[in-house]
Amino acid sequence: MDSIVQILKQNNLSVTDGRRKILSLFLNSNGALAHADIEKNTHSHFDRVTVYRTLQSFVDKGIIHTIPTSDNSIKYALCKDECGEGHHHDHHVHLVCTRCGNTFCLDNVVTPTVKLPREYTIQQVEVVVKGICKSCNNP
């Protein structure tokens, strides 16, 4: 059975064209994708609303995670850790390349620990590095 179908079924998502196509985009991309990238890559084959709902359900199920950015654009990337419904554990650093504009999960770079004064409680630490990516550095 197709690995894409497998992932969808494992997450109790019914298998539809849209979900198959969008999930395969993530599996075949090494960087993060924005909503607009998906619309472009699917040649607007799917309604915008469908794309929004698909992304939301993937996030809910722990298949993809969002990446914070300073401009107003949510980026999404595959979860590679053990994320599930309501359980996101993506403790890795993200890199936004200032040259090519792409965003990457650095799965091997673990989020550093942050110490806050006692009055605060930490729930999650997000680290986004702006810099130059691998392929822009070694062209």
Q: Residues in the site for a copy of itself, rule: CB under 8 A?
A: 66-74, 93, 95, 98, 106, 108-109, 112-117, 119-134, 137-138
x-or-dash pattern for Zn ion, window 116-135, by CB under 5 A? Answer: -----------------x--
Distance CA 74, CA 83 (A): 19
> Is residue 8 at the binding interface for Mn ion, with CB under 5 A as the rule?
no
Min dist. Cβ of residue 64 to a copy of itself (A): 13
> What residues contact 100, with CB distance under 8 A and at least 6 apart?
133, 135, 136
DSSP state letter for 63: S
For Zn ion, what does the binding mask look like between residues 84 and 103, x meaning CB under 5 A?
-------------x-xx---
> Residue 74 and residue 79: Cα distance in Å, rounded?
15
Using CB under 7 A, which residues numbered 12 to 51 contact DNA?
A: 13-19, 35-36, 45-50
Our finding on whether 25 is near Zn ion (CB under 5 A) is no
- Decide: is 77 part of the binding site for Mn ion (CB under 5 A): yes
Q: Is 2 exposed, middle or buried (0-12, 13-18, 19+ CB in 10 A)?
A: exposed
